[in-house]
Chains A and B, each alone.
Chain A
């Protein structure tokens, strides 16, 4: 597809408009520096040990085998299923039924 063009004059005018609109207001990025010390993410590396001897890491039964039998149970179900608020575009619909499919191989 051939690109549409915008004339140099239009571009120059648009730049002038955009910059003029900004110059009278405080830049949006002038955040109060004092409040910037909060780290919203916790550190991901540490030297603690995990949950002991019984848990997901050592399990061979919960999610393994050749079928994936879980269904999402979070907010996703609200947005993405036939029984929820809407149907997905292009004819697809979410399903709350369990999916028995082979897991992808690495």
Chain B
């Protein structure tokens, strides 16, 4: 802070830099040259701007992290958000993009160590927001996958729908977000011994959250990373021997988390059968 104050004095008075620094650091005096109608310094007037900045950003974070705010209570959330804001202020004027690093900030915040699931609930809320604002796209028609020849379908790669996200947690984040945000009047039971893998999808306008069965997260993560269907299934089996490919694939297809088959340049999966079927459609 001492170094900052020295540099303050060197800069032109009442520049944006001084003004901005004092907005985020309430221990600094109001900037030089900022006055009231009598020409005197007006710290209380300057506080109007401090309040505008901090309180509006607390509100913006609270609108994004609804369940986190409810889990922590408004008082704690406001204080936590304020710490985050002064250390990680927004870098874009588009506030729907503010708060990406808030879950990690919570994960590393010593006073929250007794509540280790909070950060993962925050990650799920961030994923929900990204899905809500993601580009529109038509989900993959399952019939397109059904049209691929059986001997080629294992090598198919499938593109993730722009609004699809996957959040895995050792904590019951689906139950927690339902209880504290989407279904507060009819909350599911929360079993803190249970980890949950949550699929976030928005085939049209409304964001859906789905809990995945064992192996489902490994399977979809592999597919979203560009693995072929057969490899993704193998990774899912490795992660969870009870993995059921038909169930998971059906869940993912009906949730609309794919947008298209990845075109294959070689002797690809779009076989003669596919072409023939397409002609008939």
Chain A binder among B3-11, B12-20, B31-39, B225-233: B225-233
Q: How far is the CA of A25 from the CA of B255 in the complex (A)?
A: 13
Does B266 interact with chain A (Cβ within 8 Å)? no
Given A50-B55, A55-B55, A58-B50, verify A28-B73 contact (CB < 8 Å): no
Does A91 interact with chain B (Cβ within 8 Å)? no
Q: How far is the CA of A57 from the CA of B140 in the complex (A)?
A: 48
Given A19-B143, A50-B55, A57-B54, verify A76-B47 contact (CB < 8 Å): no
Minimum Cβ distance to chain B for residue A106 (Å): 4
Residues of A contacting B86 with CB < 8 Å?
106
Residues of A contacting B256 with CB < 8 Å?
27-29
Question: How would residues 217 to 250 of chain B score, 1 for a CB under 8 Å from any chain A CB and 0 otherwise?
Answer: 0000000000001110111011001000111011
A18 touches B253 (CB 8 A): yes
Given A8-B230, A63-B79, verify A99-B110 contact (CB < 8 Å): yes
B245 touches A22 (CB 8 A): no
Given A8-B151, A19-B142, A57-B26, verify A106-B249 contact (CB < 8 Å): no
Q: How far is the CA of A81 from the CA of B27 in the complex (A)?
A: 35
Minimum Cβ distance to chain B for residue A92 (Å): 7
A75 touches B142 (CB 8 A): no
Does B254 interact with chain A (Cβ within 8 Å)? yes
Given A19-B143, A74-B77, A76-B115, verify A42-B237 contact (CB < 8 Å): no
Does B277 interact with chain A (Cβ within 8 Å)? no
Q: How far is the CA of A37 from the CA of B83 in the complex (A)?
A: 35
B93 touches A45 (CB 8 A): yes
B111 touches A101 (CB 8 A): yes
Given A14-B245, A57-B50, A103-B83, verify A8-B154 contact (CB < 8 Å): yes
Interface size class of A (residues with CB under 8 A): 35 or more
Q: Identify B51's interface contact among A2, A14, A16, A57, CB under 8 A.
A: A57
Does B70 interact with chain A (Cβ within 8 Å)? yes
Q: How far is the CA of A27 from the CA of B36 in the complex (A)?
A: 63
Q: How far is the CA of A41 from the CA of B31 in the complex (A)?
A: 36
Given A15-B145, A57-B55, verify A41-B63 contact (CB < 8 Å): yes
Question: How would residues 10 to 43 of chain A score, 1 for a CB under 8 Å from any chain B CB and 0 otherwise?
Answer: 1111111111111101011101010010001110
Q: How far is the CA of A14 from the CA of B248 in the complex (A)?
A: 10
Interface residues of B (CB under 8 A from A): 26-27, 44-45, 47-48, 50-56, 58-60, 63-64, 69-79, 82-83, 86-88, 93-96, 98, 108-111, 114-118, 129, 132, 139, 142-143, 145-146, 148, 150-151, 153-154, 170, 176, 179-180, 190, 192-193, 203-206, 208, 229-231, 233-235, 237-238, 241, 245-247, 249-250, 253-256
Q: List 16 additional A-B contacts (Cβ < 8 Å) besides A4-B234, A8-B230, A73-B72.
A: A1-B238, A11-B233, A14-B246, A22-B250, A29-B254, A29-B256, A52-B51, A56-B55, A56-B58, A60-B26, A72-B72, A72-B115, A74-B69, A88-B192, A89-B170, A89-B193
